[in-house]
Structure formats: structure tokens, C-alpha cells
Amino acid sequence: MIHRQTTNDQHPASRDQDNLKALQLALGHCFGDLTLLRRALTHPSYVNEHPEDETGDNQRLEFLGDAVLDFVTGAWVYRRYPDFAEGHMTRLRAALVRTETLAQLARQVGIGDALRLGRGEEEAGGRWRETNLCDAFEAVVGALHLDGGLTAVESFIEPLIGPVAEATLAADADHDAKSRLQEWSQAELGVTPHYRIIAEKGPDHAKTFIAEVLLGKQVAGQGTGHSKQAAEQAAAHEAWEDQIRPKIS
């Protein structure tokens, strides 16, 4: 997550320029019309308190960016997951463009630091409020689309949403496999599955974990993954397919 340090006595205009430069680096795009980016970062409260400022607020750009994000994210999901049904693609896209996700991405690229807020909104904690961050992220995407076209938006968005999509799918798979196993084992055996990591292999930056799942004292499945959660999910899946499914089929 990017947080730029500024001194209290730094002139607002200088701080604004520094923020715009840093954000353009994070976006991977140098704006031909820098007013677009500045407007995308301007909360309505700033305009209310500075009527002399002619930049305007970010609400129209937010509207545009919301539509562009839906399209770019949907197209990426369509290409990246060719076997997904329509409903699965819709759910994944919704997870990628929800308020919490976009607010986190805004923090990640430093949009929060660059927001232009009215004093009241600033003092009320508005700089890190999820709705403000989400709105500003959408507005920045709208500005990026106007200044650099769809290619600029895709180059910025796709590397950001890739890891989020994988984490979302892994969490869904983990929840589904482990929940199904737990529901069955509690109903049929009166026990709750217990998971344990039995081995770790590889360097710290590329570890592989091996997990076991036990039903009572019996090892029911074993799985491997690049995180403990993924290994446990794989173990639950193996237990279900090898031990449980044959009994209920």
C-alpha cells in the first residue's frame, strides 16, 4: 500500500503536484490533460468550500468510470475464465467491483493520499472512508479512459484485479469444500473435521504446504497448496471425493 509522506508546512499547490506525479506513476499513464486527473480526485466537499476553484468535482467522472470498470472487468473475466458459466462470471465481476474491493485498490495505488477534500470532510475521516475511496477510484478510471482510452484502463486495471480474482475464487472453493465436509461429518459422525499442516517445503517466497484433515482420529484426506488455506481446501476436497462420495453415491 502506498502512503506518501508530506510535511505540514508543504504548500498545498506543491503537495498537489507531488500527489499527481506519484499517482500517474502508479497508473502507468502520463496525462495529457492533467485537469481530468485533478477533477477525479476532487470530492464535492472541496468544491463547496472552494467555489473559486474551477476544477469541478468528480461525480460525473465517477459515473463514467463505473461503466468502464464494469466493461473492462467483465471482458477480463470472460477471457481469463473461458469455462465459467454466466452466473459464475457475474458473481466474480460483482466481487471485483464492489465498494470494499475498489476502496482497497484505491489505497493500494495511493488515491487516498491524493484526494482533495473540504476541511469538514477531512476532519470527519473522509480521506479513508470506503465510499469516498471507491468513488474516487471509479472517477480516476473515468479520467484515465478519457485521456488514454480503453487500452490505458486495461493496462492499469488488469494487473490489479488478477490477484483479487484468484483470492476470491480460492476463498469460495475453500469455503465450499470445507463447509460441505463439515456439514456431513457433523450430521453423520457427530465430529468436526480437524486440519493440521504436516509439512512445509520450498523457500519463503514460494512455499508449498501439505495438510491433512482428520475425522475423529482417522486421516480422511491430504492436500497440497501454496498457502495453508489452499492445502486445507485440497485436503477437504480429497476427503470428500475419496472417502465420503463413494458412501453416499
Q: Residues with catalytic annotation? A: 66, 138
Query: What's at 58, amino acid-wise?
Result: N
Cα 235 → chain centroid: 27
**Residue 32 DSSP class:** S
Separation of alpha carbons 179 and 175, rounded Å: 6
Q: Which helix (H) or strand (E) holds 210?
A: strand 208-215
- ∠121-126-129 over CA atoms, to 5°? 155
Beta bridge partners of 196: 212
3-state secondary structure of 177: helix
Q: In what order do the strands lie in the sheet with 218-225?
A: 194-201, 208-215, 218-225
The CA distances from residue 203 to 74, 208, 209, in Å, are 36, 9, 11
